[in-house]
């Protein structure tokens, strides 16, 4: 459980990070909570880790009708953010409170979690339900990608070799909205066996997404959740069969929608 020999460099600017990431087997290091374990298992064997933790990509602020979250914002910083106290964004805090332990929440970043694209990770479902967009930067320039288009499969994203997530942008839901995240955790790992996020507005359900049940980190559930989950490709493993996960996801969707609807009453 010791990583293979690896070189380390700390990026002092985005441009510096791009220069360092030009090395073919280099890898970005943010909080290290996912990368270091896979390096210890030698699943990942980068020749160079590029530490981006000192870049100015941290912080949470509301700009106009959008919430901007820097990719290096830690789970703990999200929990402390007053901007997230509104019922329409309650799903974010609800999700973060269930992630890992104190150390993971202190070091782990939201950008690192999205880039790692673990199919059992919690936040992708929340950001999908909230209709978030990711801002990406590479030497070629900047581009925006909706969360729905970012995940390509388990541990696979649309990021290109030298590309970084810089910000997560959440459109502020209309007044009178509520959101919620509900999950059942795997008792050993604490990751979601299944999780569901919902955004409900004055006119009814806006979007629902689930995690932990499909090959990719999040799956949009449109229309009748039972029918949508029946039609979706759900995976099973030694911990829970596909049939069990489908049923569990369906129950969690119902609970998330109910809780989000309840919260609409608290959003002026
Ligand atoms: C014990 C434990 C329990 C956990 N429990 C949960 C849980 O319950 N739910 C859950 O969802 N997660 C859980 N996690 C995962 C945790 O949330 C992630 O490990 C963490 O958020 C990843 O962020 P990081 O900054 O540490 O990323 P790193 O480990 O530094 O990087 C992860 C990956 O993302 C890439 N990367 C990092 N930042 C960027 C960026 N800005 N742009 C592009 N690529 C980038 C890296 O190259 C690497 O491939 C757990 C982890 C541990 C160790």
CATH code, 152:
3.30.465.10
Write down the pLDDT at residue 263. 96
Radius of gyration of the CA atoms of the chain, in A = 18
Q: Please indicate, yes or no, whether residues 142 and 162 belong to a single structural domain of this protein.
A: yes
DSSP state of 109: B
Q: Which of 25, 48, 36, 53 is nearest to 1 (CA)?
A: 36
Protein residue whose Cα sits closest to atom 43 of ligand 1: 164
Q: How many domains does the chain have?
A: 3
For residue 30 and ligand 1, the question of a CB distance below 6 A is answered with yes
Strand partners, 178: 200
Q: Please indicate, yes or no, whether residues 105 and 195 belong to a single structural domain of this protein.
A: no
Last residue of a domain, one of 139, 155, 171: 171
Write down the pLDDT at residue 268. 64
Q: Cβ neighbours of residue 251 under 8 Å, at least 6 residues apart?
A: none
What is the spatial distance between Cα 147 and Cα 132, in angstroms, rounded to a whole number?
Answer: 6
Q: Which atom of ligand 1 is nearest to the CA of 71?
A: 41
> Residue 137 belongs to what domain range?
60-115+131-171
pLDDT along the chain (268 residues), means of 10: 94 98 97 97 96 97 97 97 94 96 96 96 96 98 97 94 97 96 90 94 92 86 83 88 94 96 85
Q: Please indicate, yes or no, whether residues 154 and 67 belong to a single structural domain of this protein.
A: yes
Write down the pLDDT at residue 90. 97
Q: What is the pTM of this model?
A: 0.96
What is the spatial distance between Cα 73 and Cα 80, in angstroms, rounded to a whole number?
Answer: 11
Tell whether 2 is covered by a domain.
no
For residue 122 and ligand 1, the question of a CB distance below 6 A is answered with yes
Protein residue whose Cα sits closest to atom 50 of ligand 1: 100
What is the spatial distance between Cα 11 and Cα 34, in angstroms, rounded to a whole number?
Answer: 19
Which CATH number do you get for residue 239?
A: 3.30.390.50
Tell whether 121 is covered by a domain.
no
Last residue of a domain, one of 171, 187, 203: 171
């Amino acid at each position: 459980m010791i990583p293979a020999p690896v070189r380390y460099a700390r990026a002092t600017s985005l441009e510096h990070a791009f220069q360092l990431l030009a090395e073919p087997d280099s890898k970005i290091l943010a909080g290290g909570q996912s990368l270091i374990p896979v390096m210890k298992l030698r699943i990942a064997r980068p020749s160079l880790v590029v530490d981006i933790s000192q870049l100015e990509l941290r912080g949470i602020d509301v700009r106009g009708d959008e919430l901007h979250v820097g990719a290096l914002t830690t789970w703990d910083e999200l929990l402390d953010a007053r901007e997230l106290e509104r019922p329409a964004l309650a799903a974010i805090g609800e999700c973060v409170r269930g992630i890992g332990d104190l150390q993971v929440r202190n070091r782990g970043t939201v950008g690192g979690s999205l880039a790692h694209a673990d199919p059992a990770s919690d936040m992708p479902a929340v950001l999908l339900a909230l209709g978030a967009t990711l801002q990406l930067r590479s030497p070629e320039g900047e581009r925006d990608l909706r969360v729905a288009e970012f995940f390509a499969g388990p541990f696979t994203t649309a990021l290109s070799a030298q590309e970084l997530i810089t910000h997560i942008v959440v459109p502020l839901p209309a007044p009178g909205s509520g959101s919620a995240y509900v999950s059942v955790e795997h008792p050993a790992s604490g990751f979601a066996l299944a999780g569901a996020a919902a955004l409900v507005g004055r006119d009814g359900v806006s979007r629902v997404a689930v995690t932990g049940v499909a090959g990719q980190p999040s799956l949009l559930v449109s229309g009748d959740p039972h029918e949508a989950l029946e039609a979706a490709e759900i995976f099973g493993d030694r911990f829970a069969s596909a049939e069990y996960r489908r049923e569990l996801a369906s129950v969690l969707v119902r609970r998330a929608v109910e809780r989000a609807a309840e919260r609409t009453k608290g959003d002026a």
